[in-house]
Structure 1
């Protein structure tokens, strides 16, 4: 080989090595994940962090993650959906009811006394997603839908056992459906992000809140609450979504790994997770000497009767946006009945 040919061969090999190195670097992708809860919450510690670790391991490091929880610049509860659609973050976990009105189909699960079980509610949402809920998620790759266990009514200074006890109480609400329920029961709903509840109870701007047990602990609310009514009258849904274009631009391996970590396999975990998270919140309240009561069977029926018009009116209002609102609600009831609810 002549010296000129040797030089050309060496140069070619060098260029090939540089190209290979560049290809390896390009194959590694860091995805931004945001949610609105504090990093001590089970959503962060039991769900999102292990989910990212599973995907990273499955892709042999091709996909990495940067997580932005509540309290960070990307952790605003009201911006989770829009951040994903805009590509500001790649994946987000958010609450359907904040801001209001974006998910009228999915939010029908919030109507009174449909379900008080996170597992049944989460599975119902996922099973109904393809045929009934999908139009609400354009531009998004839906990784999971889920809901929490039945919510309680927590108050700072007044014990609540009956509908009459609710009259005039200012209670934080997560969504329009729950607001309508509280109004019908005599309370005054106040829309607030979860992270602002502590301060507003402490300053007596509100008298209490509706939550399952777990955020009571994770947001430190047992410090400002004394009474808890286990009503189990509602749940609220959550989304875990990815920017669809970002997903489609990933390698086949990355997409397969994300799919395997998501969907039905992920949704099936939320029932046990919520039971665990709720148990910690209740135990903390019990240790603090709080008063915990449950609706009597008679009072529960009274609430059901009072809230029937709320359900009918809410479905009628939703039907102005969604042609098959009644059919979706009926499908939810049927699925939940199959799972032993109602």
Structure 2
């Protein structure tokens, strides 16, 4: 017997998570697909496809269908959502037939970008599509009192974008978005290693460097990591050792851009809510929130307490799942 199960989806640039109102988080996969160029078919997605980055023959192309928080390849996003729905069905042990789906959207998304998300979800099999802004979902997932007349400030550092939002009475009072986020940090590391060491590395290696020795802009005990890439001159494999101090400088531009986005949001915050932020502080969510010392650095430069959400990586999708469905903006299918 089929069940119309309501699910929440955090369709992120880096990862896609699915939340069921019966079992919690049931899926967490990288937003990556592997395409067979000869047939145009998806041959792998998620973790399986991510493992293939930089290791495939010319007949296979690895694609990230979302860039900077929005859909870059509509058809591939739709196909990916279909596969995710199928995986969710297996995890739930039942068939998902025309479920009601809630999906997060960036607070700065245009009507066209929102419509693309709606259409992709509907074409993947959703009966009804509801939209919720990412800062609101992140705040709910962080157990903040979003429906009370108290300001809650969220900084969601994702893969493609960083979303900064001040929420009160269940809505976004002020928000800003920047493209300085996880992907821009990875790109900066790749460019640095190429420029300083004449070595080419891929995104997975840059991600590893960031996780292992990346730090916020505060003094720390130096760390090192040895990585291997391809020498630009000889074409042969070459190992180099990087220090956390130099990587800290590499990340400076992205981090300072995030800081300016936070400041710009605070500057337009209504005066009556500013006191709440000073009292309760700022909450960090998203993968970028796991960068070492980032909360300590931010609390120093904005002179406001900065806290890490209980589950930074899952806050958005948990918030999506916890939100009462009727409070979403309902999107009706075009006739």
TM range (shorter): under 0.3
Q: Larger strand proportion, structure 1 or 2?
A: 2
The normalised TM-score by structure 2 is 0.26
Higher relative contact order (CA 8 A, sep 6+): 1
Q: Larger helix proportion, structure 1 or 2?
A: 1
The normalised TM-score by structure 1 is 0.25
